[in-house]
Structure 1
Amino acid sequence: MSTINTSSVNSATSNAQSQVQQAAQSIISGSTGNSSMDVATLVSALVNAKTAGQTAALKAKQTSDTTILSAYGALSSALSALQAAIKNLSDGTTLSTFAATASGKGIDPKAGAGAVAGSYTIDVTQIAASQSLSSAAFGATTQLGTGKLTISLGGKSMDVAIDSTNNTLSGIAAAINKAANNPGVTATIVTGTGGAHLVLRSAVSGAANTINVVASNVQNDAGLSSLGVTSTPGANGAASSIVSSDTNKAWHQSEGAQDALLSIGGIEARSASNAVTDAIAGVTLNVSSASVGNPQTLTVAPDTTAQNTAITNFANLYNTVVTTVNKLSSYDKSSKSAGALLGDSTLMTIKNALASIVGGGVGKGTSVVSLAHIGITLKGDPADGTLVVNNTALSAALSNNPARVAALFNSTDGIGAKLNKSITEFTRTGGIIDTRNSALNADLKSVTTQQNTLADYATQLTKQYQSQFTALNKLMATMNNNSAYLTALFGGSKSAGALATNK
């Protein structure tokens, strides 16, 4: 339990007493005619003597509360990091993850939710492609006429108005690209030896996503009508074909729209995208041209590497919590310095609860499994409380006895689930940490109020003493002047005076 440092209070009080003694000497000196009083110093010393002890006590309390709040902040941060690390362990997500690998080139598989262990022969015969068309050559600045171009892609279309302001190839390309309802067609100009070509590309792959262009209401035709083209999807996902509206100024298909074609264990499959997501449950097959004609084996197996990493990360972050707790509750005999939460009951409750979960087992009777069964043990020093991971033993447990690991981290009463529930209780609004923080913040608010009240009192006292001792100083100055006059007139112990010598 944290206490206010009384040494600072005692030091402030002692210093105030010393200042009062110096101020008292000022009064004595002034009253004996040696000098006038140092009113400012006297007032400051007296006010400080009245308030120093309480000022120091409030400051010490403020420092103590702030230090404890900071300590709870560090603890909450460590607990939150641990909770984030165990999320996928506590709900079973991590231990149900799979990894997919391909034996050859051109297939980059990714296993996700719903994947199951298995082995598959994959044979890719064609990858998906986006259609790309290039028009016949025209002069770069030739005005092709006016009218309308209706451009469609995969069942969606847009109308592009062509007038005298945009009826060159570059103007048409710009109008296509900036159209608000563009279905996914991009236009560029490529200039070759024969002139400029309008190039249209589909933003999406797949046999069904073909580009069609219809020119209508053409006036002053100088080539606009020849920009019409009809695309036909290939059968069974094969590459598309085209027919130009003007065979003398025909379009060229540089790449056809086509699906990815593959077989999985002899079962034919198609995909409009090269990210094949619906062929094997829970697995995405990312295929490229290197996979074509390169049959290979796909293996889906539990991702023990990711599982090992997740469990090791859990142990490391649990150790961060334990290290934080140990630091906050430590005491150094040589320096006599204590942690901010030494003896704090809230901290001890959290420490004991977490240690009980991590040190305990899951299950009943002979089926009880603990962290030690998968190669995670407590450090040799019982007072330390941190975990040590035997990576070889953990890897062996994940590979050879995954059911035991799954039981240890089951989503009902597994270690991850218990820790998650416990940490939630500690850190939630209204939980024990929040309750302590609320009390500390309320105390800090009270301290600030008391400091403001004390400051107002000091200001009032300063004015009062300033007035009183200024008047006293004037009185003593008058008395000293009168004393000097009388001594000069009547004489003193060492002088005869003016009257005695008839001067």
Structure 2
Amino acid sequence: MSTIPSASTASTPAAAAKTAADTMSAANAARASAAQSVISGSTGNASLDVTALVTSLVNAKVAGQTGSLSAQQTKDNTRLSAIGALQAALSALQAGVAPLSNGTALGQFTAIADGTGLTASGSSGAATGSYSVAVTQIASAQTLSSAAFGATTALGTGAINVSVGGKSMSVDIAPANNTVSGIAGAINSSASNPGVTATVVTGTDGAHLVLRSSATGASNTIDVSVGDVTDDAGLSSLGVTSTAGATGSDKSTIASSSVTSPWTQTESAQDAMFTVDGTAGTSSSNTVTNAIQGVTLNLTAAAIGIPAGTVQTLTVAQDTSSATTAINNFVNLYNTLVTTYGQVASFDNSKAKGSQGGPLLGDSMFNTIKSTLSGIVSGGVKNGSSTVSLGTVGITLKADGTLTTDSTKLANALTSNPAGVAALFNSTTGVAAKMTTSLNSFLGTGGLIANNQDPLNADLKSITSQQDTLASYTTQLTHQYQAQFTALNTVMSTMNKNSQYLTQLFGGANSAGALEKGKS
């Protein structure tokens, strides 16, 4: 039985063509075998092997189209695979150059203090240098504690209004929530809570309602007013007014509505106070973003010197490690892309003729991508009246198209010529920015990659449809031939039997038949 090789048996267009030729050769052999089978059957030598005969004839009938479709399918899949490998390498490079094209890799700074309790971080636009920082006070959030009440005492009904830093809410106090814990729960669950947390602290004297501002700073003081009180058993005494300190170093003060059941301020609302190079500054938060350009200071109580105002030195410098990592990553990913070039578009004259070239060798899409990106890495970037290039920072373009990095030269460029490095990788006309623009156009919708993949996918879909049609035709033809040759085999078998009977009766060329023998 003859078999028709599938697309999977050929991995290259040349191999696919060979497979098609082999298929036609097998088909011709099948025809000859079928003819011989008919001849043998017709001469009485044997009955027809109908199954083998039908299979041979059907294979011979469809072999040409089967081989052609299989060869084209292999060719399309081979090209798609090559484009996919190129696409993967381009996508990796696209992601890898992003930190260089958007400026994040070169916009990192370190900020280190030589004392305690002070940490800092730098961001894009930070001014490098050393700064003298002294912290005299950290920002704090106001905390108030009410007078003691019975844990289950019903304090009355009415409405409580709580405000923090100019924002307020109103909470209805009903019989269901008029205990200390009920009031705390109502405050915490209010959808309009202005930024205050209520808790219950129970001591030997009873249960205290404790209110704490969620935000630090002198302006975030807490006020509580109570109205429409009925069945008063302490609810009215929860009123309190807070006042910020007269100066940054003064604590906030409170005035309770009840003299007999007053509130207690356990933590004052205060701003952080510090100096930077002798210039005084304040902040409502211990995360200070506006004292030094591009630098965030994080203050803790440990930063307050003894005596107060002890100076620390904060050193802000460019983070060359992140820039080095990003640049080396770019070089490695570009080299991976160049390696992929060789895999998909190589020429190897040691291979058999027709298999020497890669699937994208000479392809216009491939040539456009390769020439565009190589032009970017070999070109320069204008920096005022001069031009900077990858060679400026120690990156050399080799004869094989790959890049190599002189780590010492790169480190020197990052420390001694950061402006030049920044110009080389600027976010508009820099090497990485140009590369990102090109990669986006290659990989995006309607780009070179998609425009070359889409026709191939459409052709493969068409081939599959044709193969399905051919399979249906093969089945139909098999049934037809099976019926015809089964009938032929029956006729030929009958003829052979009749021939044998007549020979026995009348004799043949070399023997006497039964009739002749009877006469004698």
State TM-score, norm by structure 1: 0.87
Cα separation, 2, equivalents of 1:289 and 1:388? 49
Which of 314, 323, 328 is matched with 1:307 structurally? Answer: 323
Is residue 3 of structure 1 aligned with residue 3 of structure 2?
Answer: no
Q: Structure 2 vs 1, CA of residues 39 and 189 (structure 1 numbering), >3 Å: closer, same or farther?
A: farther
**CA separation of 1:364/1:407 partners in 2, compared to 1, >3 Å: closer, same or farther?**
closer
| 1:283 counterpart letter in structure 2 | V
Post-superposition offset of 1:23: 4.7
Whether the 8 Å contact between 1:140 and 1:169 is mirrored in structure 2 is yes
Residue 346 of structure 1 pairs with residue 365 of structure 2: yes
Aligned to 1:264: 276
- Distance in 1, Cα, partners of 2:153 & 2:236: 14
Percent identity, aligned pairs only?
A: 57
* Inter-CA distance 214–449: structure 2 relative to 1 (3 Å threshold): same
- The residue that corresponds to 2:7 in the other structure is none
Using the alignment, how far apart are the partners of 1:249 and 1:100 within structure 2?
Answer: 50
1:373 Cα deviation after fit: 2.7
For structure 2, which runs of at least 5 residues remain unmatched after alignment?
1-11
Residue identity opposite 1:316 in structure 2 = N
List per-residue Cα deviations over 1:404-429 (Å, max 9, x = no partner): 33443345644334323433443344
**Partner Cα distance (2:288, 2:140) in 1:** 13
8 Å contact from structure 2 (residues 383, 420) kept in 1: no
Deviations along 1:173-199, whole A, 9 cap, x unmatched? Answer: 222222111112222333344443333
Which segment is superposed worse, 332-341 or 351-360? 332-341
Change (3 A) 1:214 1:461: same
Of 32-41 and 221-230, more deviation after overlay is shown by 32-41
How many angstroms does 1:395 deviate by?
0.7
Q: Structure 2: how far apart are the matches of 1:19 and 1:167?
A: 99
For 2:245 and 2:514, the matched residues in 1 are separated by 137
Secondary structure, in 3 states, of the residue corresponding to 1:249? coil
- The number of aligned residues is 498
- Residues of 2 paired with 1:180 and 1:365: CA distance? 57
Q: CA deviation at 1:499?
A: 9.5
Distance 1:478 1:418 in 2: 84
SS at match of 1:261: strand
- In 2 relative to 1, CA 105–501 (structure 1 residues): closer, same or farther, beyond 3 Å? farther
Query: In the superposition, relative to structure 1, how do residues 186 and 91 fare at CA in structure 2: closer, same or farther (>3 Å)?
Result: closer
Change in Cα spacing, 1:296 to 1:9, as seen in structure 2 (3 Å) is: same
Out of 196, 208, 214, which is 1:203 matched to?
214
Q: Which residue of 2 aligns with 1:427?
A: 443
Secondary structure, aligned partner of 1:199: strand
Deviations along 1:298-344, whole A, 9 cap, x unmatched?
A: 23333333322222222122112112212222356667676442343
In structure 2, the residue matched to 1:359 is 378
Q: How many Å separate the matches in 2 of 1:241 and 1:43?
A: 106
**Number of the residue aligned with 1:180:** 191
Q: Is the Cα–Cα contact under 8 Å of residues 169 and 197 in structure 1 kept in the other structure? A: yes
* 2:335 counterpart of 1:319: yes
Q: Deviations over 1:129-148 (max 9, x none)?
A: 22223333333333332222
Aligned-partner Cα distance in 1 for 2:512–2:299:
121
Q: Between 69-78 and 88-97, report the one with greater CA deviation.
A: 88-97
Correspondence 1:32-181 to 2 at 5 A: 37-90=48-101, 94-95=105-106, 97-181=108-192
Whichever residue aligns with residue 314 of structure 2, its letter is L
Structure 1: gaps (5+ residues): none
Q: Which residue of 2 aligns with 1:292?
A: 304
TM-score normalised over the length of structure 2: 0.84
Report if the CA contact (8 A) 2:397-2:404 is conserved.
yes
Q: CA deviation at 1:26?
A: 5.0
CA distance in 1, matches of 2:47, 2:181: 97
Aligned partner of 2:404 in structure 1 is 388
AA matched with 2:184: A
The match for 2:459 is 443
Matched, 1:277 2:289: yes
Alpha-carbon shift at residue 32 of structure 1 (Å): 5.5
Cα distance in 2 between the residues matched to 1:178 and 1:37: 92
The residue that corresponds to 2:244 in the other structure is: 233
1:63 & 1:167 partners in 2: Cα distance?
A: 81
2:434 maps to: 418
Deviations 1:30-63 (CA, angstroms, capped at 9, x unpaired)? 5456765443443333222222332233223223
Q: Residue type matched to 2:267 in 1?
A: E
Q: Is the 2:13–2:71 contact (alpha carbons within 8 Å) kept by the matching residues of 1?
A: no
Does structure 2 retain, via aligned residues, the 8 Å contact 1:490–1:500? no
Q: Relative to structure 2, which stretch is displaced further, 154-163 or 297-306?
A: 297-306
The Cα of 1:19 is off from its aligned counterpart by: 4.7
Q: Which moved more, 1:252-261 or 1:454-463?
A: 454-463
Task: Identify if the C-alpha distance between structure 1 residues 406 and 497 changes in structure 2 by more than 3 Å, giving closer, same or farther.
Answer: same
User: For residue 379 of structure 2, what is the amino acid of its counterpart?
Assistant: G
Q: Does 1:373 align with 2:419?
A: no
Give the letter aligned to residue 261 of structure 1.
M
**Residue 396 (structure 1) shift:** 0.6
CA distance in 2: counterparts of 1:33 and 1:171, whole angstroms = 109
User: 1:28, CA displacement in angstroms?
Assistant: 5.0
Q: By how many angstroms is 1:364 displaced?
A: 10
> Residue 149 of structure 2 contacts residue 206 of structure 2 at CA under 8 Å; is this kept in 1?
yes
